[in-house]
Chains A and B, each alone.
Chain A
Amino acid sequence: MATEEMERLVRREYTQGFVTDIESDTVPPGLDESVIAFISHKKGEPEWMLEWRLEAYRQWLTMKTPSWAHLDYPPIDYQAISYYSAPKKPEDRPQSLDEVDPKLLETYEKLGIPLHERAALAGVAVDAVFDSVSVTTTFKEKLAEAGVIFCSISEAIRDYPELVKQYLGSVVPQGDNYFAALNSAVFTDGSFVYVPEGVTCPMELSTYFRINAANTGQFERTLIVCDKRAQVSYLEGCTAPQRDENQLHAAVVELVALEDAYIKYSTVQNWYPGDEDGKGGIYNFVTKRADCRGDRSKVSWTQVETGSAITWKYPSCMLRGKDSVGEFYSVAVTNGRQQADTGTKMIHIGENTKSTIVSKGIAAGRSDQAYRGLVKIGPRAKRARNFTQCDSLLIGDRCGAHTFPYQEIGNSTATVEHEATTSKIGEDQLFYCRQRGIAEEDAVNMIVNGFCKDVFQELPMEFAVEAEALLNVTLEGAVG
């Protein structure tokens, strides 16, 4: 889009009383087309991208917040949110760790987060916490050698417009749901990965991310494309509790797996859950979907959800290719006043498609959580198979766990199995461990980690260890 047009759009809104200073680094709270134009301009995007965003915005205007989830939160005022702001200036941030919530620091300590990373995670204004530039460069060189593209979504829009055009929104369309539409209109951050035909990505795309995790955006947009016979393991998130000034997070993740491709996507989500009364916690409304487009393609979602005040998230697989495979392994832990409504959708379209769902929910304190899953088997998905196992563990008697499994079976050759259990963390189990000399808290950790083992073993090795530690910290004080 030409600059004049952009400015015209912006100015037009100005006449309606909405001030947008194109030179500024921040827009005032509120959302309209001028704000979207501003974001697109700031990102130096081509015109088609702005059009794409505006289409999403117009659809969003006609949509309503979904209300079917088992969640309770006050209505969100979308006009009170600022949709673009440059990173906080150093003088506005805590000047040293002394100014940070001591509880948060205690948690870092327990998780064994290196000292120099703690400051960055807590949002303290420190210069050059780690040598991220050189690390990033080393990675980029190694990836480039293999032909893997790994960059921010903004860079991708500028440098690989054809790829982005081809795949963006092809899995999660702009108007897919309320939060996805909002994200499509205003996303400012996120990652793009393209693994070319026959290439196995030479490293876990994780270390890089952990270093940069403190700066993930409020409306993240991630697009991962694995070409034929390509493979990648991508890890998102961070075990350390992350604080963010923005309460609302609405990310979209799209995965595309072509013939014989394999994408492993692991998440450890530990956004700030709020204080003991749930105040100030993050609302996390995420749309994650994989398209197993090619025959024999495979996508595996593994998630460990321990943070956020509210989690609304259903990583899904569209199993279109023949013999394609979708997997979902999830551990969701809620404590305090946290609420989580999470699960998956496995949509079997192609023949011989196979899906596995293993969901482990742990509720403690006064938290509430729901597993919500859909297994849909289309008429052409001959001999499709699904196995679902869904277990809930309650700690204490003030928490809740709910299971909403939906099944739509469209042909008679399909095999669908569902197993579900809900158990209270056994007094008997605790007594047994303690009677062997193991301290109560260690016993709880042992039992809970045992309960989650099927999922943890799907995580990349070093992360599995961290996930266990994270669980232990999250459930601290849950018993007794």
Chain B
Amino acid sequence: MVRVEFLGPIQKPSLELEIQNLNELAAVLQEDAELSEWLKNCAVAVNDTLVSSLEAPLKDGDKISLLPPVCGG
């Protein structure tokens, strides 16, 4: 089981999912019409490290975060 958190302005509660990798996560989230615009410009972190590939395997207890466009300052 992994936990998926939506940060900042994505007003959506976290999800608990049984998935093995980020490709499976992409498939699940793409089914959600509310998320389709966000997915185009969100970065992804696994256990608080940004990732650049969908291939890395996930393990039980991993935390995945979706980070929408930022503007600090």
Are A and B part of the same complex?
no
Q: Which residues of B contact A (CB under 8 A)?
A: none
